Amino acid sequence: MAHKRVEIAERKVLCPISMLEKSTLFQSPTTSLKSSLLDKSKSGIIAEFKRKSPSKGIINSKASVDQTTAGYVQAGASALSILTDTKFFGGNNEDVLIARRANTCPILRKEFIVDEYQIIEAKSIGADAILLIAAVVDPQTVQKYSRLAQSLGLEVLLEVHNEEEVKANLDSGVDLIGVNNRNLKTFEVSTDTSKRLASIIPDTIVKISESGIDNPAAIQELREVGYKGFLLGQVFMQHDQPEIACREFMDALSKVTPIKTK
């Protein structure tokens, strides 16, 4: 976070808000991530493009944004997630711009947002939704940032890791809540985290499960407890051609039999 604040201060000088607001995409309408995930005819998969991560290091440094993201959508992804952090994830704003030119589906800008500038910036590069992280931004700031984002036509996905973060943000006005199945302290991953928190997230908020989903059966289990969105990145990006891995996953998902409840 300390590094991000320095980075933002530099960007504000190079490209002030007045310039961001003049971009063509700033005036363009957005596409609803929430609506896309609630569409029962779609997969609910948010396919992510990321080159590296703090926990795994380099994942895929050769995949192209346009080919990969277009392939994701052709395979049946409901939306895209694009990492724009450079130092820790190897992304940049240009990745969102490229993905926007290649696709019409909702795009989530995945970033460590700690300043209102980044929200305006997200709109200017063609994003449809932003990520806020409850472990980083306090509930009052989540509410403040959400209002700004929504005033620009952006939707807000709040990432949580535990029950305390969920309960502290129930009145924040966010559009979606994403449960990160990765423990930030140990890096251990388990979809049990999503299952455990499902019941305390109101049905009025679209639920997304993030991290650790590596097979179609896991998605079916999460659907049964109310999840509409499933964010998958590494499971695709670790392959030489992520878009093909995505298509194979989608094919397998279409063959999974729904769980019968008593």
Which residues are catalytically annotated?
Answer: 48, 50, 110, 159, 180, 210-211
| DSSP at 128 | S
What are the structure tokens assigned to 172, written together? Answer: 């924040």
Fill in the amino acid letter for 16. P
Query: Which residues have CB under 8 Å from 151's CB, separation 6+?
Result: none
**CA 232 to CA 249: how far, in whole Å?**
10
**CA 65 to CA 99: how far, in whole Å?**
6
8 Å CB contact between 90 and 56: no
8 Å CB contact between 8 and 117: yes
